[in-house]
Structure 1
């Protein structure tokens, strides 16, 4: 249900944000030992960067639809 500001009328009715696809499944796994290997670290870094990209896409979509200030 859209928010309606009685003072501004229908001009303030909410808009739907453009769809942003779900993040892919994580590729990183728990470290095999006390210290992670370079490959384990790199897999985690890849996952974090992918999530950052998804979050930024979602925030941009929300700004475009007017749900967040630019």
Structure 2
């Protein structure tokens, strides 16, 4: 799982910080700090952050699961 934030689009509304406080934080007035490779157990909160962003600056990239060969 990979998180990508378009920092040119981000307007520092901080909705991602409320939705996923373990993965996003605002430092100062406008500096967004985030975890680009959060652990899988944070997926739901990252998805909430993606949906909460009013300018759609956050993208979540998830690799398809490897095929199982039994």
Higher normalized strand content (fraction of residues): 2
Higher helix share: 1
What's the TM-score once normalised by structure 1's chain length?
0.28
Higher RCO, Cα 8 Å, sep 6+: 2
Query: If the length of structure 2 is used for normalisation, what is the TM-score?
Result: 0.28
